[in-house]
Each structure stands twice: as C-alpha cells, then as structure tokens.
Amino acid sequence: MKLAILQSIPTHPRHPVQTDTFAKFQHLCGMIEQQSFLAAHAACHATMNGIPRTLAVDTDISDETDVLHALDTAFQTDPFDALVLPGLTDPSIQHAVSTRCQREQDTHAFKIIFDAPRDTPVAELVRRQRVLPRFATLCWPYISTVTPGRRSPEWLPASCVAAPLLLKTAPHLRGVHEPASLSADDAATLDEAGVLVLRQKIVARRPVIGLMTPPSRDALPSTHAFADVEVPPGLFVPDTSAPECDEAAFERELLAALETRCAEVIHAHPKNDANLWAALARTVTAELIHARDKGYIRKYHVRCDAETASWGTPETPVVEILIDFPKRVREVKFNVSTRTTISP
C-alpha cells in the first residue's frame, strides 16, 4: 500500500519524497514538532496506521497549475493506492484534479480523498459529493489532534487521517484526538450521500476514530495483481482453501487482539516511560511471532520508543506495527513429484 500526498513541504525538496517510516519523512521534510504542516500529519497518520509507504510531492495547493504539475510528477514516480491533498478545498481545483485522474483510472486504480472548508453546511457537502467521480470522495468532519511540542490542539482536515480507514489497513485510527461534533442525523445524511464520515468509537475502553460505514471490500482500489508463487517441495504451505473473507476476518481478529493486549499493558503501567514502551514492544512481538509461526503473516516490524511515544498523548504512547500478510490465493495445486504451485 502507498499513499500519495500533495501539499506544501517546508524544506521544499525538488524531487518526490518516498519513505517507509515517519522518521525518514521528518528527516527529509522537517520536524512535525517544530512546524505544523499538513503533509507531515498525513504521513504520520498513514505510517502509524498500517500504510507502509508514502509518496509526498511539494506543491502550492492554491495554484491549480502547480497542483496538476505535482500530480503528474506523482504519476511518473510510482503507482499509489490513495491520493490526498490535505487542505485543498477549492471545488474548481478539485474538479481539475479529478479530470486529470480520470485518465489514469483504466491502468492505475486508486482513490482520492478531498476536503471541504470547516464551515461547509451538510447540504453543500452532499451537493459537492454528488458531482465527484466514483473514485473520489469527501471526508468529514475535521479532526482535533495534539501535536507534541505545541501548546494547544490543532484542527486537521479529515483527509489527513482517513486514508488508512478507506484502504482498510487499520480498523480504527491511532494517534488522533477527536472529531468535531456532528449530529447523528447529519452523519447519516452524509454517509448515505457517499461522504466518508469519521466517528468516535470505544475500543478496549479507549476512544478511537473509525468510519461510520466501513468501505466494502469490492470498493477498494487494487493496484497489485496476484502473481504466481512457487514453493519448493517440503515447505509448509498454510491452508488457503478457505474463502478470502476468512483471511480478512483473521486480519481483523489479529488487530483487535493487539489492541486488547496493548490496552492491558498500558493499564498495568502507571507511567508513560521506557519501561512501558519496552513492555508494549515485547507483548506485540510475542503475538506476531505466534501468528508468523502459524503462517498467517510473513513479516512484521514493531517499534515503541521515545519517538513513537511522542505521537500519542501524554498518557498513552503509540506502537508502530507493520505487518506483511500473505497474498491471498483462490486455488492450491499440489504436484509432489516436482513442486507446489500456488496460482490465483
């Protein structure tokens, strides 16, 4: 999975910035603690919510020509699964972006998440959503978040945080504060119109943010085709004869189990310090080793230290977890005399 981000970057890099960790992004683009900029928030919430790679292009989102040039640069760099332009609320520029992206959809399927101004009425949001193409959507409402090193919460456009939910790399968001208030009737109206509606939920006794209606599996973009995988004789192959939904269910169960175990560890440690960070890393690693040994996941990465802890709140740190799930297969053929072939 890769998220493309078009926004102003304080260091103004001349080339696209491709990173697989937020630490690398900050090294190349600037520290989020020192400068509040939307590209960094989008990269931060993506990498700590399951999107392993980000592609950022420096652009002035108020200039249509500059935005379209940055978009062409992103297309020429590498395929991506979702595109965000945090803070871009001008409907004419959004239309120009959608028109340009329409030409790419036949060969490169991806989603676009757009924003609207904070004071936009619900009826206007519905009208704007209805004129967008099928691969683009508005997201609402704005999110209040606490940035380490800054004195007060900041309001972020919803596109900064929504990509992991749309791409289903996380069942709910980590490292965010709370969404702006939205009545149940307004939320239902926006949801029915196709707007991505962010709602607060309680998971393991902690408030988190998720989508009001999770996107269907068929609605997600698919930029990576299933390739044939050849397995040498004698190598254990997990049972893949169950329907795809079973694997999706396991992914959800694993993420829920990780959330529960982390909540237990946090409850058992009164201080948000190095002892808690180490305990969280050990607990998560143990769960993932068990899943890997059973063949449910291929690789994993776990990190909980002073940097990741700063992404959370003063009481609750953040654990960075990256998981590589096996590619799904629909058929398994065995030929014991030569080799085992798994084909889509």
> Residue 158: CA atoms inside 13 Å, Cβ hemisphere, count?
27
Residue-level pLDDT at 223: 35
Q: Is 262 left (phi over 0), alpha (psi -120 to 50) or beta?
A: alpha
User: Residue 286 carries which side chain, given as an amino acid letter?
Assistant: A
Angle (deg, nearest 10), helices 244-268 and 274-293: 160
* CA angle at 225 for the pair 223 and 226, rounded to the nearest 5°: 145
Residue 63's pLDDT is: 95
What 3-state DSSP class applies to 327?
Answer: coil
37-69 per-residue burial string, b: 16 or more CB within 10 A, e: under 16:
bbbbbbbbbbbbbbbbbbbbbbbebeebebbbe
In this structure, what DSSP letter does residue 242 have?
A: S
3-state secondary structure (DSSP) of residue 218: helix
What is the per-residue pLDDT for 170?
Answer: 87
pLDDT tens, N- to C-terminus, the chain (344 residues) = 899 999 999 888 989 999 988 888 888 888 776 666 899 999 989 988 889 899 999 999 999 999 999 999 999 998 999 999 999 999 999 999 999 999 898 888 899 999 999 999 999 999 999 999 999 999 999 998 876 666 677 889 999 999 999 999 888 887 778 889 999 999 999 999 999 999 988 877 778 888 988 665 344 443 333 233 333 333 333 344 444 445 667 777 888 888 888 888 888 888 888 888 888 888 888 888 888 877 778 888 888 888 887 777 777 788 888 887 776 543 333 434 333 334 44
pLDDT at 332: 37
Q: What is the DSSP string of 50-92?
A: T--EEEEEE--TT-HHHHHHHHHHHHHH---SEEE-TT---HH
Q: What is residue 342's predicted lDDT score, i.e. its pLDDT?
A: 40
Q: What is the value of pTM for the model shown?
A: 0.64
Contact between 211 and 196 under an 8 Å Cβ cutoff? The reply is yes
Q: Which residue has the tokens 């590619």?
A: 327
Show me where the domains of the chain are located.
Answer: 2-219, 241-325
Helices within 211-315 (DSSP H only): 244-268, 274-293, 306-309
The sheet that has 136-140: what strands, in order across it? 17-19, 53-58, 2-7, 82-84, 111-114, 136-140, 196-203, 206-211
What CATH class is the domain 2-219?
alpha beta
